[in-house]
Amino acid sequence: MRSGLDWPEWTSSYGDSGNPCTGMESSAEWAKYVPNKDIIHTPGTTFNYSSGDSRLQVSDYVLNILFD
């Protein structure tokens, strides 16, 4: 939750196309959608609730387990 990504998940409704979580979920490839977001804070410095951070962590974990 401190990735620094531009991920304003709480500023609009989940049904709003401008919500990054909605954009991610309607994307064919979530793991590619998330890292393409801009970084607006130095990673590790600012807390921001982000479903995108969770997806990155899960994707990284799964890749390490399956292909390491």
Residue extents of the structural domains in the chain? 20-67
Q: What percent of the chain lies above the pLDDT cut of 90?
A: 15
How confident is the model at residue 5, as a pLDDT?
A: 87
The secondary structure of 3-57 as a DSSP string is S-B---TTSS-TTSTTSHHHHHHHSS-HHHHGGGSPB-S-TTS-----HHHHHHH
pLDDT confidence bin for 36, thresholds 50/70/90:
confident
Q: Residues 1-24: what's their mean pLDDT? A: 86
Confidence (pTM): 0.69
Instruction: Using the CB atoms, write b or e for 2-23: b if 16+ within 10 Å.
Output: ebbbebebeeeeeeeeebbbbb
How confident is the model at residue 41, as a pLDDT?
A: 93
Q: Residues 37-50: what's their mean pLDDT? A: 91
